[in-house]
Amino acid sequence: MIDAGSTGSRLHVYRFRQCAADDPVQLKDEALFVQTIPGLSAYTPDLAGQSLDPLLQQALQAIPKNLRRKTPMAVRATAGLRLLGHEQSEKVLDAVYDHIHARYPFPIIGGRESGVTIMDGKDEGVYVWITVNFLLGHLKSKGAPTAAVFDLGGASTQIVFEPDRIDPKAMVEGDHQYTLTYDNHDYVLYQHSYLGYGLMEARKRMHQRILELADQVKPDLHVSHPCLPRNLEFSFPKNAPSPEATFIGQGLHDACTNIVKDILNKNAVCLAPPCSFDGIHQPLIAEAFAQGPIYIFSYFYDRTVPLGLPASFKLPELGRLTERVCMGEYFEQLPDGDLRDEMLDRPEWCLDLSFIYGLLSHGYEIPDDREIRMAKKIDGVETGWCLGAAIALLDEAGLEQDA
């Protein structure tokens, strides 16, 4: 399974055991996980397919020669290609399919039409939910609370959970309601994918909003920025020949959180209450998901764990860490020189943490007293949507005939 994300491409090779079509799928292991940057959206169509060669060459080494033509594969692009627009993204995917089909032995299930595609945002979130609950063993225990999942990519963020109760007060009808059938059991899920609210897109939104607010007061090339470290000078757009402005960092956690609330559009018209942000219906976590565990992934993990946030925490802990980073206290007390250098080389740590905190607390409205868990892997397997998508692919491939 190739995850063609907005910031990079990642290849997963899984080994399953399934002797008959009606047998439950058993995961033996994740035989290979490799990645490369940047993502497909950074390439012209003629180079997009070639960008996957380093990944596919390693797949050839990992999969025995006699099994290569029996090992199905698929390419699923996510929000990065969605943002390119239909015409350009289709050209990229056509080129990727042609390149893989001509050079590699792995059968692409569904051909170009369904084997090399842009994944719907709702499927992305649901596949993450399948992955996590499959690895945690929650799908084996019928009636047991399942885990809620919150994913943060570069261009989009997803939420999926199974409400504790399903009634009109918990969830109204609409695209956000997703019925998943797995192992002869129906799971009625709430899901939504917010395109444009991934971490990289949020950075752009926040910088742009601060410029707009400054111009409303007094147009100036030097603009105070609450979400950058104190006294830091930062040109925006970054590395442009003629920057629009130079941001002067203030390191103000509360003021930065207000910018996050602003871009989350919490005041948008809510046509189907209750709503989370941007006018999107969402059952309240405090009321509709009171029992199961909460898991967060991807950039939620990548931007907090290096700073010492534990794998299990509550939002006030994240808020305190964010404030320390924004005010500069974290840098002053940091004994790890390599981490200090990395943080100074990436001045948007304060902004990133403020967005993550604001998204979880004010956007999704996770209560302060709820435990939140992070995991890069569960039982040695990478979390994310790929395993869930691979399990779904097994049904299409009919692998039991080759067992």
How many residues are listed for the chain in this entry? Answer: 403
The dihedral of CA 100, 101, 106, 108: what is its sign? Answer: positive
State the CB neighbour count (10 A cutoff) for residue 34.
16
**Bridging pattern class, strands 294-298 and 148-152:** parallel
From the candidates 30, 87, 113, 124, which is the catalytic residue? Answer: 124
365 given a catalytic annotation:
no
Other Cβ atoms closer than 10 A to 377: 12
CB contact at 8 A, 118 and 90: no
Distance separating alpha carbons of residues 307 and 357, to the nearest angstrom = 14
| CA dihedral (42, 46, 52, 53) positive or negative | negative
What DSSP line would sit under 160-193, residue for residue?
EE--SS-STTT--SSTTEEEEEETTEEEEEEEEE
Residue with tokens 């200090």: 340
CA pair distance 280, 287, nearest whole angstrom: 17
Are 349 and 309 in contact by the 8 Å Cβ rule? The answer is no
**What positions carry a catalytic annotation?**
124
